[in-house]
Amino acid sequence: MNQAVTIENLELNRGNKNYLSIPIFTVEKGERLQITGLNGSGKTSLLQILAGLLIPDSGKIEIFGQRIDQLSGSEQEKFRSGQVGYIFQQPTLIAYLNPLENILLPCRLSELRQQRLEAHKTTANYEAYQLMAALKMENPELLRQSTGQLSIGQQQRVAIARALIGTPSLILADEAASALDPLTRQTMYEMLLQSAKEHEQTLICVDHTPYPGFDRCLDMSKINHSQQVAKLW
């Protein structure tokens, strides 16, 4: 089984409008895929469906051989916290936890992430500082101050480390660089691409501006049939 993601006959409607219609969409294990596309073309909706954060009206969604559309709410949460690192467009950190506690949170929630840290002979604390150093925020004081005192770009770097800690098998990044300066954007992409290559993680990144080095770059209109129909009009 070489497929990380298989979607068949997926439909997402809101009211009487169809927003996603995906007959078939596959991503291979370890593939690094970039998705571009117009505003409103369904990129965020697709990533949220893959993470189990949004339930479509119909369709088969298989991730690493598991039908996530057939899991209960708690099973989906367990799957997500163990297997999926999700980077939102906005930092979405927990304000009452400091930056370090935010980064460590997925390891507290998922045994699988803890086991991977043990397998890599490291600890959650050590990996948190390593990730932040790679994201050029190595000053330990920054990680212990109040989260609200960080700039939005600094908070986003914390959110990126939170998604990557414990080496999730699937990384989903939704316009993750939109709050980052150009140099940090480059640092983030090089880090994601390198991590995916080294650990055979599957990486799906949405961005309006393509970044070099991905295995495949797809426009959303190639994935979402309702976009092809929309284009005809």
| Distance, CA of 152 to chain centre | 18
* Cβ nearer to ligand ATP, comparing 41 with 195: 41
Name the DSSP letter for residue 15.
Answer: T
| Distance, CA of 217 to chain centre | 16
CB of 60 to ligand ATP, least distance (A): 20
CB of 20 to ligand ATP, least distance (A): 8
CB of 51 to ligand ATP, least distance (A): 13
CB of 183 to ligand ATP, least distance (A): 24
| Distance, CA of 230 to chain centre | 27
* Cβ nearer to ligand ATP, comparing 39 with 74: 39
CB of 35 to ligand ATP, least distance (A): 9
Site of interaction with ligand ATP (CB under 6 A): 14, 19, 37, 39-45
Residues 6+ apart with CB under 8 A from 104: 124, 125, 128, 165
* Cβ nearer to ligand ATP, comparing 45 with 201: 45
* Cβ nearer to ligand ATP, comparing 109 with 230: 230
* Cβ nearer to ligand ATP, comparing 83 with 227: 227
Distances in Å between the Cα of 128 and the Cα atoms of 44, 61, 132 are: 27, 31, 6
H runs (alpha helix) in 27-139: 43-50, 73-83, 99-109, 111-119, 124-134
Residue 93's nearest CA partner among 157, 45, 184 is 157
